[in-house]
Amino acid sequence: MKINIYYGGRGIIDDPTLYVISQITAVLQELNVKVQQYNLYEQRNGITALPNTLKDADGIILASTVEWYGVGGYIMQFLDACWLYGDKDKIKQIYMAPVVMSTTHGEREGMMSLTSAWEMLGGLPCDGMCGYIADTTKLENSNEYSKIIEKKTENIYRTINQKMAVFPASNRAVINKVATSKGIDLTPQESEQLSEYASDDKYVRKQKEDLQELASIFRDKMGQDESASGNSEEYIKILEKKFTPVAGIRAMYKIVFSDNSRLSPIVLDVENSKLTCRTGDEDGCDVVITSDQRVFEDIIDGRITFQRAFMAGNIKMKGDFKLLRSLDQLFELMTE
């Protein structure tokens, strides 16, 4: 029989949970149980691979300390890894006893949290132990506390050894409803391999660098394709088609492309219900807009308005700001 202990505290000297699990270990070893302890703070870079250690375990103990609020991050990372990479069929056969000591408050809530999480994973909960310990020396010097730990450990051993039946919990139903994992359908062997890769910092960093390089290549290629696709005459046709007369507006707009010298500036001469579009670098315009070709195409494709592009710093503008706002009224570019 083998029981794994996963300690999720910080490993400080006066942590009462460390003393409790040392006593639990001693009792279990006297009962000829093989005990292996995993200190999560020492393996924080490899927590995603730890679900693999559940394979040969008959039962586990999740131990943590409530120092200010909740059971702490390491133990939750381990449970996340079990949800994402663990062998659910194996977890269904494993008993879990929570051990939560508190130096402040919330030990019962912490124990319930661990129990609920293990039930949602499909595992079998058994009675654990929790307590408020303000002074660790009192815990170490108390025979009564030692007897409590010994009795509760024997109960844990008895539950796991005899494979006692456990009432079904409603938490398990969540697995088949709202909390189903959205990962790919992997075999246990593939999950093990994936968790090993995920815990390898060098591998993850290299994958991120490769993805960034590929994204840069495709982005540059798309930029080149887009730059070659449009020209000033085509843009004029689109603007003329989308023009919506607005009474009382008389203005001349010039759009200059800052990133493509091959594109001629576009001049929009609006006089009430009449629009005249032409290309050319004319002076005396009321509003001069400077834009990248890609941003301008986003505007005429309806993905962003002139005003929003200006506020985001994607285009530059000289002239009357009120006339810039009028552009979004003159041209129905936004899509639904």
pLDDT in tens, 32-87: 999 999 999 998 888 999 999 999 999 999 999 999 888 988 999 999 999 998 99
- Rounded to whole angstroms, the maximal C-alpha distance in the chain is 96
- Answer whether residue 228 shows pLDDT above 50: no
Under the banding of pLDDT at 50, 70 and 90, the label for residue 227 is very low
- Check if CATH label 3.30.1050.10 holds for domain 232-330: yes
Query: What distances in angstroms separate CA 48 from CA 53, 79, 194, one per listed residue?
Result: 11, 9, 9
**What does the pLDDT average to over 24-32?**
95
Q: For tokens 């005459």, what's the residue?
A: 233
> What is the model's pTM?
0.55
Residue 331 has a pLDDT of 84
Residue 93 has a pLDDT of 93
- Can you give the residue ranges of every domain in the chain? 2-198, 232-330
- Answer whether residue 20 shows pLDDT above 80: yes
Write the pLDDT tens digit of every residue in 267-310.
999 988 889 999 988 888 999 999 988 888 888 888 888 888 88
d(CA 33, CA 280): 87
Return all residues near 84 (Cβ < 8 A) that are at least 6 apart. Answer: 48, 181, 183, 195
Lowest mean pLDDT among 146-150, 185-189, 201-205, 288-292: 185-189
Q: Using a pLDDT cut of 70, give the percent of the chain over it.
A: 84
d(CA 62, CA 60): 7
**What does the pLDDT average to over 238-249?**
87
- Answer whether residue 317 shows pLDDT above 80: yes
Q: What is the mean pLDDT of the chain?
A: 85
d(CA 152, CA 171): 25
Highest mean pLDDT among 149-158, 205-214, 285-294, 324-333: 149-158
CATH number for the region 2-198 comes to 3.40.50.360
